[in-house]
Amino acid sequence: MQLTLRVWRQSNPSAKGEFENYDVYGIDKDMSFLEMMDVLNQQLIKEGKDPVAFDHDCREGICGSCNMYINGRPHGPWDKTTTCQLHMRAFEDRDTIVIEPFRANSFPIIKDLAVDRSAFDRIIEKGGYISVNTGNAMDANAIPIEKEIADTAMDAATCIGCGACVAACKNSSAMLFVSAKVAHLNMLPQGKVESGERAISMVNQMDAEGFGSCTNTYACEAECPKGISVTNIARLNRSFIGASIGG
């Protein structure tokens, strides 16, 4: 395959960015999107040019690092797929592919396609854990939990914190991310002791980080690579309001 890549280049957070066009050749349809980006960077290095900076780690759809906007969609054209699991058979020979970083004030650009998502880490620090004594591993696993509750909590726990929900939202809201992190703990008996405090602390930190409000467009759910449900946002709202009024 021969492709034209229109890639956002920005040397540092304060620099003015712009799109640059690159032609790449010999792309196999079975390559992942990140392998294709590796081919581009090898080409740029051979030409004595600065390679494109982009985030990646596991390349197995687990870590959430590969945050790119591809042809107008977070992670590209396939539903419920991370960028690293997107393959080049999703495109046609001689296609033009537009590649941008996730756009949100709370995700400042570091360089090129790499953005700073440490705001998510600071939200987790405010309550994305269980601090009460739940016993050792055997004791904790011995607590009976209804299958429906366990399954729902596990569905929320599949959130990988990639930020696609923020990038897809017209308000740059982080409600889907926060609600998933709150729900998977609050639904379990081990997490209920701190459920109200957790909801308030994490929502307050989300607001402090400058994320926008949720207006229920469902774009977050549509673009989430793990299919996290917006039902978790309703759960978070109930928990937050209940804890705020002392319920």
| Tens-place pLDDT, residues 115-161 | 999 999 999 999 999 887 767 777 767 788 899 999 999 999 999 99
Mean pLDDT, rounded, of the chain: 95
DSSP state of 51: P
Contact 7, 64 (CB under 8 A): no
What pLDDT sits at residue 139? Answer: 72
Tell me the mean pLDDT in the region 174-191. Answer: 95
- Residues 23 and 148: their CA atoms lie apart, in Å, by 50
CB atoms within 10 A of CB 146: 9
Tell me the mean pLDDT in the region 195-199. Answer: 95
Do the domains 118-244 and 3-111 match in fold?
no
Q: What percent of the chain has pLDDT over 70?
A: 98
Q: Domain 118-244: give its CATH superfamily.
A: Alpha-helical ferredoxin (1.10.1060.10)
Q: What percent of the chain has pLDDT over 90?
A: 91
In this model, does residue 31 exceed pLDDT 60? yes
In this model, does residue 72 exceed pLDDT 70? yes
What pLDDT sits at residue 201? Answer: 97
Q: Which residues are within 8 A (CB) of 20 and not within 5 positions of it... i.e. 6 or more apart?
A: 6, 7, 9
Looking at CATH, the fold of the domain delimited by 3-111 is given as Ubiquitin-like (UB roll) (3.10.20)
Tell me the mean pLDDT in the region 71-76. Answer: 97
Return the residue matching tokens 């366990």.
150
What pLDDT sits at residue 140? Answer: 65
In this model, does residue 247 exceed pLDDT 60? no
Each domain of the chain, given as residue ranges in start order, spans: 3-111, 118-244
- Residues 66 and 237: their CA atoms lie apart, in Å, by 29
- Residues 131 and 192: their CA atoms lie apart, in Å, by 11
Tell me the mean pLDDT in the region 15-40. Answer: 97
